[in-house]
Amino acid sequence: MLKLFLPDQHVKSVFEIRPEHLKEKGIRGVITDLDNTLVAWNEAHPNDKVHNWFKQMEQSGIDVMIISNNNKDRVELFSKPLNRPYVYKAKKPLKRAFLKAAEKMGYKQTEIVVIGDQLLTDVLGGNRSGFQTILVVPIVSTDDKITKFNRSIERFILNKLEKRGMVKWEE
């Protein structure tokens, strides 16, 4: 059961994820979370770092799709300037939105990685759907109400994973 919460990789920031490293692993598509993964949850628009990251991915032939539990207005406002497809009200960790995103991309599950800042939505949903997963450190330590609740459960799970020697986190 705990293995479903175990990411394949853990990095401090989405900006550490380089297209050449993804390609080495056979990755052709990225499904990424939005809030606290690409920008702070209360930041409406993509910043220059986000634009540059998306440009690097695109120039390297890596397709990126945004998937979020947030509403259409929020996700569309963020995604349109990037000219990227998106799925809103994804109901992560349910598989449906992840599989829908993969189908739109046209890649096999082994060719897609899910990136996000939450174990209970992004990693669990990505793992349940058969994708590789990368957990990033949340951009800001503040969260929306439901995410605050999720974070307390997440800390419990992370402690269990660490105690069982399944993961070792950097300070």
Taking phi over 0 as left and psi of -120 to 50 as alpha, with beta for the rest, 64 belongs to beta
Q: pLDDT tens digit string along 39-89?
A: 998 899 999 999 999 999 999 999 999 999 999 999 999 999 999 999 999
Q: In what order do the strands lie in the sheet with 9-11?
A: 9-11, 132-136, 112-116, 29-32, 63-67, 86-87
Give the whole-angstrom CA distance, residue 111 versus residue 107.
6
pLDDT at 168 over 70: no
CB-based contacts of 57, cutoff 8 Å, min separation 6: 19, 30, 63, 64
Peptide bond into 138 cis (omega under 30): no
pLDDT at 171 over 60: no
In CATH, 2-163 is 3.40.50.1000: yes
114 forms beta bridges with 31, 133
Give the whole-angstrom CA distance, residue 93 versus residue 122.
6
Give the CB-side neighbour count of residue 102, counting CA atoms within 13 A.
20
Q: What is the mean pLDDT of the chain?
A: 91
Give the whole-angstrom CA distance, residue 6 versus residue 169.
12
Q: What integer pLDDT is reported at residue 63 of this predicted model?
A: 97
The burial of 121, by beta-carbon neighbours within 10 Å (0-12 exposed, 13-18 middle, 19 or more buried), is given as buried
Confidence of residue 162 (pLDDT cuts 50, 70, 90): confident
CB-based contacts of 104, cutoff 8 Å, min separation 6: 65, 85
